[in-house]
Amino acid sequence: MYDIVLLATDGSTPAREALDRAVALARAEAATLHVLSVVDAGDLGLFSSADLAAVDGVLRDAAEDAVADAAQHAAEAGVDAVRAVRVGVPHHETVGYAADVDADLVVVGSHGRRGLSRALLGSVAARVVRGSPVPVLVVPPRP
């Protein structure tokens, strides 16, 4: 049913719960797991050009760490993972990556953002659902 499963992660607790589900699905389906983290280009626009390189490095490192942690978790469960980091608008990059790799399913955690920023900006997961060319599994937080 699924040959390629894409997990979009930011390293948050909801993303970790989505990781568990994505790994289980990939293992059960003998699917390839792609792990993607997107450095939000909008976050980079908040800084002066003098600070931009340092901030970009920190954000890229965080994205690389999130992808590496997810890939390690997958490997421990016997699932190989393809790692990817992109820079841009998270939902656009996620949908674009899904199309690029011909993913059969996108897995995301819900509620990565909290409070006012979530209300103002909307949910990345909801935007992925609206824009994705393939089914999206939104994994809610555990109670």
CATH, residue 14: 3.40.50.620
Instruction: Provide the number of structural domains found in the chain.
Output: 1
Question: Does residue 121 contact residue 113 with C-beta atoms inside 8 Å?
Answer: yes
Reported pTM: 0.86
Tell me the pLDDT tens digit for each residue of 59-86.
Answer: 888 999 999 999 999 999 999 999 999 9
pLDDT, tens digit only, all 143 positions of the chain: 999 999 999 998 889 999 999 999 999 999 999 999 998 876 555 555 556 555 567 788 899 999 999 999 999 999 999 999 998 899 999 999 999 999 999 999 987 555 555 554 458 888 999 999 999 999 988 77
**Distance (Å, rounded) from C-alpha 56 to C-alpha 15?**
21
Q: Which structural domain range is residue 73 located in?
A: 4-139
Q: How many other CB atoms are there within 10 angstroms of residue 33's CB atom?
A: 27
Question: Does residue 125 contact residue 138 with C-beta atoms inside 8 Å?
Answer: yes
